[in-house]
Each structure stands twice: as C-alpha cells, then as structure tokens.
C-alpha cells in the first residue's frame, strides 16, 4: 500500500458540499491499495503511520508521533498514488488494486489505525471529493509498504 502523509493543523473532506470527515492537528493520509496488497500491508502501513515521528517536540525536533501529540487522522482514498508516469504524458493506473479490493483495504487501514488508538475520520471511497488542509511545516512524507516488504 502507498500513503502520502501531510502533517496538518486542520483538514477536511467534502462530498457534494457535505463534510464527511474533519480533523484538527494530525495527519491527512492519502492512501492507495496496490495490486497484490492484502490486509497485512494495511496493518503494517497503519502501524508506520501511527509511530512515524514527524511532529515537533519541545526542542523543535521531529521526535513525536501523531499518537504522542493526541492527534487524529483524516484518511482519504487516492488511487492516483498508483500513477505510472514512466512513459507518455498520460499516467496509467493499472498497478492500483481492483476497486472492491481497494475499498476493503482502505476500510481495513482505517480500522487498523483506530485499533491503535487514533481518532480517524474518512472521505468516501471512489467519490469525487474536495479536500482542504493547512499543511504544517510543510511536512509531506511518502510511505510504501513495498519499500519494506
């Protein structure tokens, strides 16, 4: 699975003018299930997200996790993280998981974050969403379970 994390002071997602998820300080997590991913990848990714130390401590160093600061996660499905841009001018998305699998793993990822004690808000899988955020730093981090096995 792939995720793009943005450390935020606030973030929200709207679908057809209705807010489906909103958080204060924490992480906006754009997430994509890749072909071949299983629940174990969703669980490993959730553990990495929960423990990643990208929030400032008292000395101003990135030594605290979203869990440490009592932050929340806004999880938004983002199949375009599977974009293959190696050839041509139009990205391909054939390496993304099939929609049914993608939805299941997106929901499992959110469930795994909740099981780790994090408050989680969500977008709506495969919906046309409007995401707004205030990136803190800015800090944006890319994670891919394929990089760690």
Rounded to two decimals, the pTM is 0.95
> Residue 144: how many CB atoms within 10 A of its CB?
15
Helix (H, G, I), strand (E, B), or coil: what is residue 115?
A: helix
The residues assigned a catalytic role are 78-80
* CATH domain 2-7+30-134 topology: 3.50.80
What is the pairing mode between strands 120-122 and 72-77? parallel
Cα Rg of the chain (Å, integer) = 15
Tens of pLDDT along the chain (149 residues) come to 999 999 999 999 999 999 999 999 999 999 999 999 999 999 999 999 999 999 999 999 999 999 999 999 999 999 999 999 999 999 999 999 999 999 999 999 999 999 999 999 999 999 999 999 999 999 999 999 997 65
């Amino acid at each position: 699975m792939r995720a793009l994390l943005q450390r935020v002071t606030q973030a929200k997602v709207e679908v057809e003018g209705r807010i489906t998820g909103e958080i204060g300080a924490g992480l906006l997590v754009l997430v994509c299930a890749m072909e071949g991913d299983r629940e174990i990848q969703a669980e490993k990714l959730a553990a990495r997200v929960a423990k990643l130390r990208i929030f400032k401590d008292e000395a101003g160093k990135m030594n605290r996790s979203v869990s440490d600061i009592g932050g929340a996660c806004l999880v938004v499905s983002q199949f375009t993280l599977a974009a293959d841009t190696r050839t041509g001018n139009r990205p391909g998305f054939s390496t993304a998981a099939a929609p049914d699998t993608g939805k299941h793993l997106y929901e499992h990822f959110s469930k795994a974050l909740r099981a780790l004690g994090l408050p989680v808000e969500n977008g709506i899988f495969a919906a046309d969403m409007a995401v707004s955020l205030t990136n803190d730093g800015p800090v944006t981090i890319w994670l891919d379970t394929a990089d760690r096995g």
